[in-house]
Structure 1
């Protein structure tokens, strides 16, 4: 899965706008997490534009996106969004389709706290290499090789 964290906007900590130190962590299952770099520029619109490549286990029902802020007293969680896998995988769209998505971030107590903008693309597997007809010498050699490797 390729997920691009485009931006985060209208973020605050304790009622004060966040000016910098923002980074995003994406989790597809308990053992698979990826984070962006820290965005240090000020303003209420944090333009991260960072691409993350990570596996999407078939057992995953949602992707957790967590926005954090580095402060002088440590890392503070700003808000999270739980993105259902069904929002970008499945249906009649091709695997390599680029989904542009925006989600409301919520604090642990349910309070709204900003918006995360991202894109998601499920990468399709590369096509298998072409095979020779089964009576072709190369195909027969490959079959023997497969039999000895199994």
Structure 2
């Protein structure tokens, strides 16, 4: 019996393990700054190889520009469920961190289409990770701030 069949409410599914989730702000930032991108019709997936981890990890970010809290949470729930359907088959040779940024169309898109896009994105990321193309990009200037001018000594 699967977890879904055993659920009391009927809509609860197995969670992605905590070890497979991106949780720290610093990890998200590294993926954005040094990672690669995969574009889809309904979301953009950023990914970066991570040599310090043993398993792949995933996180979701939804900008306030996409709507109120209800819409943003619904987008994350739909993306998480689409990921759960594909995550078991996602087995890159090397650990990779993935951050998914949805587009507004996630709310209206058919769930089967969303799941197919997530499957394709994870396949592309897995292929890139296995071939070494998910390695971090070199970043010359990580700081977004201009360097301060030094005061002249008298």
- TM-score, normalising length from structure 2? 0.28
Higher helix share: 2
- TM-score, normalising length from structure 1? 0.29
Higher strand share: 1
Higher relative contact order (CA 8 A, sep 6+): 2
The structure that has the greater radius of gyration is 1
